A and B are shown apart, each in its own frame.
Chain A
Amino acid sequence: MPSQPAAAGHDALALFEDEAVDRFLREPSEESYGQLFRALAPRLLCYFRTRGCPTELAEDLAQEVMWTVYQRSWMLRRLERFRPWLYKVMRNVLLQHLRRSRRDVATVALGKETAELPAPVADPLAGSQFSEWMASLAPDEREILTLRYVDELEYHEIAEVLGLPTGTVQWKIFNAKKKLIKRFGNGRG
Chain B
Amino acid sequence: MRHGIDEQSWLAWLDGTLDAQARSALEAHLGICADCGWQSRQLERWRELLETEAGRLRAALCGGEEEWERMAWRSLHRLREAAARQGLGRWTVLEALSILRLLMEPICGQGTVRAVVERALERSRAAGPALTWGDWGRFVGHLSDAAASVCGSAVGRLVALAGLCLAEEAVA
Contacts and interface: CB of A to CB of B under 8 A. Distances in A.
Interface in A67-122: 67, 70-72, 74-75, 77
Interface stretch (B25-33, B68-76, B106-114): B68-76
Given A33-B76, A37-B68, A72 B164 contact: yes
Contacts of B68: 4, 37-38, 41-42
Interface residues of B, number: 45
Point out which of A62, A150, A186 has the most chain B C-beta atoms below 10 A from its C-beta: A150
B19 interface: no
B60 interface: yes
A81 B79 CA distance: 24
Interface string A129-173: 111010000000000011011100001000000000001001100
Given A30-B80, A128-B57, A146-B54, 5 more contacts: A46-B57, A63-B75, A124-B60, A181-B39, A181-B42
Interface of A: 3-4, 28-30, 33-34, 37-38, 41-43, 45-46, 49-50, 59, 62-63, 66-67, 70-72, 74-75, 77, 124-125, 128-131, 133, 145-146, 148-150, 155, 167, 170-171, 174, 177-178, 180-181, 186-187
